[in-house]
Amino acid sequence: MPFSMNSTITNIIAFFRFLAKRILQLRYNKDVFIFIGFFFLASCFWVLNALRKDNFTNELKYPIRFTNVDDHWILEESNFNELTLTVKADGLDLLRYHFLNKIEVKNIDVSKMKRFTNSSGIGAYAVTKDYMRIIASQLRANSNMELLKISPDTLYLSLIEKNTKKVPVVPQVTVSFNKLCQLSDRLILDPDSVIISGPQSFIDSTHSVLTSVVSFTELKDTLVTTIPLLLSKDVSCSFKKVKLTIPVEHFTESFTMVPVIGHGLADGWLLKTFPSEVKVSYRVGLTRNLYTSSDFNAIIDFSSLDMSNLPPRLKITLNHIPKGVSSVTYSPVFVEYLIEKNKP
């Protein structure tokens, strides 16, 4: 009748407790070290003799991994990442396993598993008894273990139909620049969109993929780097990272005088403002030409004003700013005015 490996370990522990108690009793005896030496040798021989018996039974954990899933399907997260093997073996082999655990991961080919359909959808299953010969052969290659049983007796997996969609990549990037430097154009992502695959419920609710949050400070030259994408474990993506380009240029500050124009003023009326021009200040890259007054529009919009109750001063709005300029300011923002009829 097979012995339990656990009961043997209990006996060994009890033996060493007795040994420790005996040593404490003899700690003042000059022959204690001789006693310890003989006891140590005796205990080693006793343990080795106990472990030589080949009728121990024990349970081992056998790691598994599911592979070769069809491209049209997704393997739902499974609770099966290991099998429980009941084995009979020499105690030394079992002890070697518990300390070294050198069993290789077993790949389970999902494409060869049988299919089933139920109210929850489509799945696959395999009877673990079919793997007895392969696993037993693997165990015997490194030891004299005899495989008695595999648990569970059946592996069940749920398969989810895969859906795909193309979505834009949204950068999560903050940037600051060195003195006299600025962003010369928009941030460039390559690729700027990716194809994601996953369960339909997840794909339908996903409209973009975010990058990791990154921050760059005191930039003075164009920066090119790669940043990872933030991906859910439920989705696969055509790219794991994207290339980010932050175009940087040195700038100069300039200004131009822009005449104030009235919009929405009834025909036959003339607007005069005091002053008649506003000073528009801006920053522009050193590689670009400076702008003139014709590149800006400074207006007063009368379409949104009550002509019977005009304020003493009117607000100016810049409704056209050329591309490539930044940090645009203008002064004054409010002006005094005079509205009079055109002379015939």
Write down the domain spans for the chain.
1-51, 53-161, 163-246, 252-341
Q: Is the pLDDT of residue 211 over 50?
A: yes
Q: Can you read off the two tokens belonging to residue 335?
A: 């002006």
Closest C-alpha to 122, from 164, 70, 51, 194: 70
Q: Which fold has domain 163-246?
A: RNA Polymerase Alpha Subunit; Chain A, domain 2 (2.170.120)
Q: Are 40 and 15 in contact (CB under 8 A)?
A: no
Cα 112 from chain centre = 32
Cis peptide before 152 (omega within 30 of 0): yes
Output 37 or 189, whichever has higher pLDDT.
189
Which of the four CATH numbers 2.10.240, 1.10.10, 2.170.120, 2.60.40 does domain 53-161 have? 2.170.120
pLDDT digits (tens, 9 = 90+) for 68-83: 888 788 877 666 788 8
Average pLDDT in the 227-242 region? Answer: 91
CA distance 227 to 243: 7
Region 212-225: mean pLDDT is 95
| Confidence bin at 237 (pLDDT 50/70/90) | very high
pLDDT at 212: 96
1 pLDDT exceeds 50?
Answer: no
pLDDT > 70? residue 159: yes
Q: Which residue blocks in 221-319 are alpha helix, DSSP H?
A: none
Reported as a single tens digit per residue, the pLDDT across 297-332 is: 999 999 888 888 999 999 999 988 988 888 899 999
Separation between Cα atoms, residue 265 and residue 273, nearest integer Å? 14
Domains 53-161 and 252-341 alike in fold: yes
Q: Calculate mean pLDDT across residues 123-136.
A: 88
Query: Lowest-confidence range among 92-101, 139-148, 161-170, 308-317?
Result: 92-101
> Which pLDDT does position 101 carry in this prediction?
60
Which of 3.30.1360.70, 2.40.10.220, 3.40.50.300, 2.170.120.30 would CATH assign to domain 252-341?
2.170.120.30
Quick one: DSSP state of residue 130? Answer: G
